[in-house]
Structure 1
Amino acid sequence: MTTSKHQQGRRGVMENERILKVVLPGVVAPEGLELQDGAAPRAGRGQVVIGMEATGVSFAEQQMRRGRYFDQPPFPFVPGYDLVGRVLAVGEGADPGLAGRRVAALVKVGGWASRVVVDAGDVVPVPDGVTAAEAETMVVNGITAWQMLHRKARVRAGQTILVHGAGGGVGTVLVQLARAAGVKVIGTASPRHHEALRAFGVTPVDYRSGNVPARVRELVPGGVDAVFDHLGGRSVTDSWHLLARGGAVVAYGAASALDDTGSKQWPVLKIIARFSLWNALPNGRHGYFYNIWAGRSFGKDRFRDRLRADLTEVFAALSRGDVTARIAAELPLARAAEALRLAESGTVSGKVVLTG
């Protein structure tokens, strides 16, 4: 019996189709990642199957392979924080109009596979004219940058902000979105990123030489209006003291503790505890720890609506040219170990993308 195109779109996969996935078996070097094949997944009620075209190598996967991501699942699991691809199958109860559409999805884990099942309510359409790899650079990085700027710090035109790690994945998107909003930006980065940052209109500061807080105070004696800090530890305290009255520190990681041992939650809990104390002080300053998944357990529909709205804004900024997709390398999924090693090397600028 032949299968109609409509039936194929609903079912999405043939009976014996196999997929490729990358498994993180435990705390291993990048070369310890395992390539496995398996049965193609099926779309359940309210779900879609996405044929992965691009998935990213982010700081989250770097933490996960060390067992240091604060809420990662038990080993073994398939990493992959986000993905972009075509909808191959639509389950009962999901919008049949999604079939064949290129979409993006934030999944936290599971993206490093050639086929991925996602709740239909979690996908965001990718605009025409934007490639899968370009869109991939903007999913987790773009949502993070947009929400920290506009939902946490609530930056306004004419303000001045400090972005630590301005040459990194989130930092690069963040500084471009800030400049598009009319915000002045100081960015810490290694010298090899300075030329690119200047091209974005950013004042670069070399984090490896001299006293960074002192240099920032020279540039902005009255303090900055916001600091975006992925480092944690001592850096959060320095960031707090660089604020002008009414300013905000938005912390979104603890990279300084990446290779520490012990509790992986403790570095984050320390930041949250400090902010709880500091926020009670009568100086109008505020500290926030940003978690992209915050609020999901208290309102799934509201979380989805906000994520969809914010990623749509980021994609629109990409289409307008307000931000550029910086792709460091594109490697096939089977070379995930090489991609992870490259992303961790600190020698590339932009996102390392795995392709399906």
Structure 2
Amino acid sequence: MTSERLVEVVLPGVVDPEGLQIRYASVPQPGPGQLLIAMEATGVSFAEQQMRRGRYYDQPPFPFVPGYDLVGRVLSTGPGVDPALAGRRVAALVKVGGWASHVVVDAADAVDVPEGLTAAQAETVVVNGITAWQMLHRKARVRSGQTVLVHGASGGVGSVLAQLARAAGVRVIGTASARHHEALRELGVTPVDYRAGEVPALVRELAPGGVDAVFDHVGGRSVIDSWQLLAPGGTLVAYGSASTRDDTGSKQWPVLKILARTSLWNTLPNGKHAYFYNIWAGRALAKDRFRAQLRSDLTEVLAAVDRGEVTARIAAELPLTSAAEALRLAESGTVTGKVVLTA
């Protein structure tokens, strides 16, 4: 038994970032098939921004500990787990619970982190990297020489997606505010200022015949524009509704509208495809397959970071107890990269 103290951040309800609470408790112990991880880095993603507003479409009831993913060292193992795993640095996708000093996860959900990466570097590409890889290679199935449009190309998922696409030999057009354009050009991305005019018209100037895939986290009207920008045989992958973050009313309705549209579009005889990507899709029906794909895809992304094909963009590192400041910073729209919380 460890004598350390558990520190966790609690989201008590719909509150401003300053309404987050710090809670102390006994460190949990791993059960059969589980690991106890000492968190070294956990991230502030768009999901937490929606959750604190009560706007994430399948968040748990308040109060709960947010934190979509984490990286840390295995402290101890439960029955049925190889004790030799203790001391290894691993990453895990948890959806909630990551904003804590110690986290228990199923051993099957932990992925080894290359020794050449720091915990913070690895953290930037856990949920963001899995999302980007699966949308790019499992949904859109991009090929070298194609052209894709990435909305929010300077954001957490968008920047990883753009770099993975470039590594695959794909031309990338990326929307972002003007202050991020130089950084995108350095990555080989052709930037489009979404504040400078009609995005569809600007994209058509760059790709008159349409693009082979669009990755859209914006939702709302943007999804319709994205579908119309596709070349014959192209693929739309929608994966969020950022434009409705501050709306009131049903948190499921924006997603349901996207699902309805993509279902309808897939019946049209134009060879195009449309998906709403959910990282958890298929887990309930095929858990072993879900886990195998997750481990494989995250391993690929971490290796790409280790090789230098993807740059781990850390916007800021703050201690776990400064979660309110970290969330406020992530929501400000003034930073590039991921805001990381550390133990």
| TM-score tier after normalising by the smaller chain length | over 0.9
- Secondary structure of the 2:284 match is helix
Aligned to 1:278: 265
> 1 CA distance for matches of 2:82 and 2:245?
41
Aligned to 2:331: 344
- Secondary structure of the 1:309 match is helix
Aligned to 1:322: 309
> 1 CA distance for matches of 2:218 and 2:297?
24
Following superposition of structure 1 onto structure 2, how do residues 93-132 of structure 1 map, counting pairs within 5 Å? 93-132=80-119
Following superposition of structure 1 onto structure 2, how do residues 245-324 of structure 1 map, counting pairs within 5 Å? 245-324=232-311
Aligned-partner residue type, residue 228 of structure 1: F
Say whether residues 1:55 and 2:55 are aligned partners: no
Aligned-partner residue type, residue 64 of structure 2: F
For residues 103-122 of structure 1, give each alpha carbon's deviation from its aligned partner in whole angstroms, at most 9, with x where no partner exists: 00000000000000000000
> 2 CA distance for matches of 1:86 and 1:55?
12
Q: Structure 2 unaligned runs (5+)? A: none
> 2 CA distance for matches of 1:286 and 1:106?
28
TM-aligned CA deviation for residue 21 of structure 1: 0.4
Aligned to 2:65: 78
Q: CA-atom RMSD, angstroms?
A: 0.6
Residue 159 of structure 2 is aligned with which of 169, 172, 176?
A: 172
Following superposition of structure 1 onto structure 2, how do residues 210-225 of structure 1 map, counting pairs within 5 Å? 210-225=197-212
Query: Are 1:95 and 1:120, in contact at CA under 8 Å, matched by a contact in 2?
Result: no
For residues 245-288 of structure 1, give each alpha carbon's deviation from its aligned partner in whole angstroms, at most 9, with x where no partner exists: 00011000001111111111110010010011111000000100
Aligned to 2:195: 208
TM-aligned CA deviation for residue 97 of structure 1: 2.1
- Secondary structure of the 2:39 match is strand
> 2 CA distance for matches of 1:40 and 1:277?
49
Say whether residues 1:66 and 2:50 are aligned partners: no
Aligned to 2:4: 17
Aligned to 1:155: 142
> 1 CA distance for matches of 2:115 and 2:61?
38
Aligned-partner residue type, residue 300 of structure 1: K
- Secondary structure of the 1:330 match is strand
The TM-score, its normalising length taken from structure 2, stands at: 0.99
Aligned to 2:224: 237
Q: Which has the larger radius of gyration?
A: 1
TM-aligned CA deviation for residue 209 of structure 1: 1.1
**Percent identical across equivalent pairs?**
78
TM-aligned CA deviation for residue 215 of structure 1: 0.8
For residues 53-95 of structure 1, give each alpha carbon's deviation from its aligned partner in whole angstroms, at most 9, with x where no partner exists: 0000000000000000000000000000000000001000112
Give the ranges of 4+ consecutive aligned residues of structure 1 lying more than 2 Å apart after TM superposition: none
Q: Structure 1 unaligned runs (5+)? A: 1-12
Aligned to 1:3: none
